[in-house]
């Protein structure tokens, strides 16, 4: 089943995460998914389910891969819960492409609409009626009322919704104790909160279990028909290299953004994957032949990253291939908010007040570790930082010496440009889902075995 809402902020994550936890508490194997590119919600889903949260995004991977990726993630499970993105019909630009409704259609899945009932009663029925009839292909199977104030408030909403013909599957009362902390890009990631996140997910599970009709929700999910076609398999998209090179992937509280399929593709391409924490570890994993430094919140941990000079020096001196996205780009810069970083790319990063957010159709204008000129990549941006290119001259004091000073950006799109790269580095704000671009994993692992990449 797909957990959707009329808009962001309605309570999708509360209901979806709590539902996953509640169903798991019943002894069910629950497969958690998130429509769209978001990294943070799947972290809470993973805690609730005890298995990786996975994204389903037609823009990032292509429509044809959504069902195969879903079947890959849901293999062996009893039920799957897919949290939507934004409002039910909100997609790329002014279209419905990559919307929650689009994903629900690709999965032939029923939709549960989470409605924020605060400050309304009978109007809930008009809202739900509109969402139930706006697109005939969407099968709205029920409503969960959120932020209900009292028994009387719930009674009024339920009575009104009888006229809309959509069953009420739950009514969640206002409860400030289950509100998760947020900051400049949304919820604080579960990986940064440690035991607090575990307790928060447990409370959400208890809240949904006592507020929703779990049996009715399971019956609704059972109406989703079998999905035909293949199951996505990373081994079908890459060719394993010899020697099992070690690919070190950044993790820990500062680097929490990653899609589960990235590691699966790296392993299928012949790599041994080792996770390291740039905040705490002082050396790269033994035998590291390539680095992957993905997204996250280095700006929230800049002082600690700067203070870990042994790790910064190890990354700066590393001679193998490096793939970096967003947070990884900031970490490779000369500095972040005035604090020294690794210096592998010539630029200074800083926090800004401007949110950069959206899908990008990027064209590679130069060759790099992961790109070839003219190739097109579907990705997304999500940050409040900016990088000043060439803020530091090439040549400085090792190990903080940018290897090159590219004049041209690595990627261009309709109204922007971004990125640094050469034959061993790709560093950009652009987030990619490697299931949509498996050549990225192949090129990274293959380059880790190429002597020319280790010069």
157 flagged as catalytic:
no
Phi, psi values for residue 139, rounded to 5°: -100, 95
Nearest to 46 by CA among 183, 185, 201: 201
Written as one string, the DSSP assignment of 365-431 is -S--SS--TT-EEEEEEEEEEEEEET-S-TT-STTS--S---SS-SEEETTEEE-EEETTEEEES-E
HEC assignment per residue over 420-432: EEECCEEEECCEE
Answer for the pair 114, 34: CB distance below 8 angstroms, yes or no: no
172 by DSSP, 3-state: which? strand
Ramachandran sector of residue 309 (left: φ over 0; alpha: ψ -120 to 50; beta: rest): alpha
Residues 418/361, Cβ–Cβ less than 8 Å: no
Q: Compute the distance between CA of residue 331 and CA of residue 325 in angstroms, rounded to an integer.
A: 10
CB 339 within 8 A of CB 306: yes
Task: Give the integer Cα–Cα distance in Å for 353 and 271.
Answer: 39
**C-alpha 390, offset from chain centre:** 30
77, 157, 212, 326: which one is catalytic?
326
**348: part of which helix (H) or strand (E)?**
strand 347-364
Would you give the DSSP letter of residue 81?
A: E
Q: What order of strands is seen across the sheet that includes strand 54-56?
A: 54-56, 30-35, 79-83, 2-4, 111-116, 140-148, 168-173
Copy the structure tokens of residue 397.
């004091």
For the beta sheet containing 425-428, the strands, ordered from the edge strand earlier in sequence to the opposite edge, are 272-276, 246-250, 288-293, 322-325, 425-428, 420-422
Tokens at residue 49, please? 């389910």
Strand 30-35 versus strand 322-325 pairing type: unpaired
- Looking at the annotation, which residues are catalytic? 326
């Amino acid at each position: 089943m797909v957990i959707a809402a009329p808009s962001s902020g309605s309570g999708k994550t509360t209901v979806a995460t709590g539902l996953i936890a509640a169903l798991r508490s019943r002894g069910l194997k629950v497969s958690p998914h998130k429509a769209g590119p978001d990294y943070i919600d799947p972290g809470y889903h993973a805690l609730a389910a005890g298995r990786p949260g996975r994204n389903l995004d037609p823009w990032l991977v292509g429509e044809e891969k959504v069902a195969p990726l879903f079947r890959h993630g849901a293999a062996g499970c009893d039920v799957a819960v897919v949290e939507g993105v934004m409002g039910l019909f909100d997609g790329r630009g002014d279209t419905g492409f990559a919307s929650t409704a689009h994903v629900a259609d690709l999965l032939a899945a029923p939709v549960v609409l989470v409605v924020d009932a605060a400050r309304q009663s009978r109007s809930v029925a008009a809202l739900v009626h509109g969402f139930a009839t706006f697109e005939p292909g969407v099968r709205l199977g029920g409503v969960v009322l959120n932020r209900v104030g009292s028994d009387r408030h719930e009674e009024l909403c339920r009575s009104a919704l009888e006229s809309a013909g959509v069953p009420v599957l739950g009514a969640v009362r206002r409860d400030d104790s289950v509100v998760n902390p947020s900051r400049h890009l949304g919820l604080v990631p579960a990986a940064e909160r440690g035991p607090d996140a575990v307790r928060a997910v447990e409370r959400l599970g208890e809240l949904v279990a006592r507020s929703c009709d779990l049996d009715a929700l399971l019956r609704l999910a059972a109406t989703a028909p079998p999905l035909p076609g293949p199951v996505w398999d990373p081994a079908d998209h890459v060719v394993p290299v010899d020697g099992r090179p070690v690919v070190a992937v950044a993790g820990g509280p500062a680097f929490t953004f990653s899609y589960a399929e990235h590691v699966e593709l790296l392993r299928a391409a012949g790599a041994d994957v080792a996770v390291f924490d740039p905040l705490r570890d002082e050396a790269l994993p033994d035998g590291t032949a390539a680095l992957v430094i993905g997204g996250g919140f280095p700006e929230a941990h800049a002082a600690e990253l700067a203070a870990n000079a042994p790790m910064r020096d190890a990354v700066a001196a590393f001679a193998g291939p490096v793939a970096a996205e967003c947070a990884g780009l900031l970490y490779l810069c000369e500095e972040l908010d005035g604090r020294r970083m690794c210096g592998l790319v010539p630029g200074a990063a800083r926090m800004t007040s401007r949110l950069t957010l959206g899908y990008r159709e990027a064209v590679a204008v130069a060759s790099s570790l992961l790109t070839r000129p003219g190739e097109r990549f579907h990705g997304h941006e999500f940050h409040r930082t900016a990088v000043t290119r060439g803020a530091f001259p090439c040549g400085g004091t090792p190990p903080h010496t940018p290897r090159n000073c590219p004049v041209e950006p690595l990627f261009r799109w309709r109204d922007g440009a971004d990125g640094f790269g050469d034959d061993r580095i790709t560093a950009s704000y652009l987030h990619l889902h490697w299931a949509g671009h498996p050549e990225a994993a192949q090129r990274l692992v293959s380059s880790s075995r190429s002597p020319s990449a280790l010069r």
